[in-house]
Amino acid sequence: MHQRTVFFISDGTGITAETFGNAILAQFELKARHVRLPFVDTADKAYQAVRQINHTGVVDGNKPIVFTTLVNMEVLKVIQEGCQGMLLDMFGMFVNPLENELQIKSHHRIGRFSDASKSKEYQDRIEAINFSLAHDDGQSNRDLEQSDVILVGVSRSGKTPTSLYLAMQYGLKASNYPLIPEDFERRQLPPALVPHKAKIFGLTIQPERLSEIRNERRPNSKYASIENCRMEVSEAEAMMRRTGIRWLSTTTKSIEEISTTILQEIHPERLMY
């Protein structure tokens, strides 16, 4: 079988090109080699990219697929004129129809991450990451009222990766709190959380899966045993029902799916625009 190569070319990081290109390619049963060409922001670099693409096409015996998110028209022109791959100009495809509908010209500004470091939005995102790290696993009650979201659940139910994803992707200050035997005995949420009930979201997980995950960390421990996992999950779910907080099971869900559902349920003020 011939090899197929996919290029992602951008005058910025190429992350948008690759994210979107991967979503398209996921629609096909195709094993392809991926090549990222970020920061292609001069005609010289564009000529170099064209040479690399065309050479690859000859070696593969197959037209390379070339996804581009280029706003520099000079760079795009070099690639359009020289590239023998299948060119998918992702910006061009949408920008022109939008210019007509909006009746404004696009300004060909490079990269959504460029100069980002100076923007308020970017600073907020970094602050959210630091906040979420400092409020991981109930480490601190300080400034808890600043949280946009507070996740609760038993140890290893998916709270930490979800909190960090919410911070990194959406700039949300996401705290998380473990539910532990003391909480189950008291039959109440951790006291520090009670004033913030509207922001609380619960994560649960199938006991069998939880036991697997915990066994990787601490093999053959009581902590990881299926009996203990069943008990903790059942107590945690009973508490979530009793206190009326919203919750979901993370067992078959990715952090992206969990986060999207949380946003739909909690509606953090910070995201209203």
Among 2, 102, 222, 244, binds a second copy (CB under 8 A): 102
156 marked ligand binding residue = yes
Which residues between 16 and 75 bind a second copy (CB under 8 A)? 16, 19-20, 22-24, 26-30, 33-34, 36, 38-39, 63, 65, 69, 71
158 marked ligand binding residue = yes
Tell me the C-alpha distance between 54 and 84, whole Å: 6
Under the binding rule (CB under 8 A), the answer on residue 178 touching a second copy is: no
Residue whose CB is less far from a second copy, 171 or 202: 171
Tell me the C-alpha distance between 155 and 250, whole Å: 13
Strand spans (E) along the chain = 5-10, 33-37, 65-69, 86-89, 149-153, 174-178, 200-204, 246-249
Query: What 3-state DSSP class applies to 104?
Result: coil
Which residues between 148 and 167 bind a second copy (CB under 8 A)? 160-161, 164-165
**Cβ atoms within 10 A of the Cβ of 206, count?**
15
Residues 6+ apart with CB under 8 A from 170: 128, 259, 263, 268, 270, 271
> Which residue type does 152 have?
V
Which residues between 115 and 144 bind a second copy (CB under 8 A)? 115-118, 122, 126, 129-130, 133, 136
Which residues between 205 and 244 bind a second copy (CB under 8 A)? none
Count of chain residues binding a second copy (CB under 8 A): 75
Q: Per CB under 8 A, which region of 191-199, 221-229, 232-240, 245-253 contacts a second copy?
A: 245-253
- With CA atoms as reference, report the closest residue to 264 among 248, 250, 251: 248
Q: What angle do CA 104, 110, 113 make, to 5 degrees?
A: 115
Distance of closest approach, residue 149 Cβ to a second copy, in angstroms: 16
Distance of closest approach, residue 169 Cβ to a second copy, in angstroms: 8
Feature table: binding site for ADP: 153-160
Feature table: binding site: 153-160
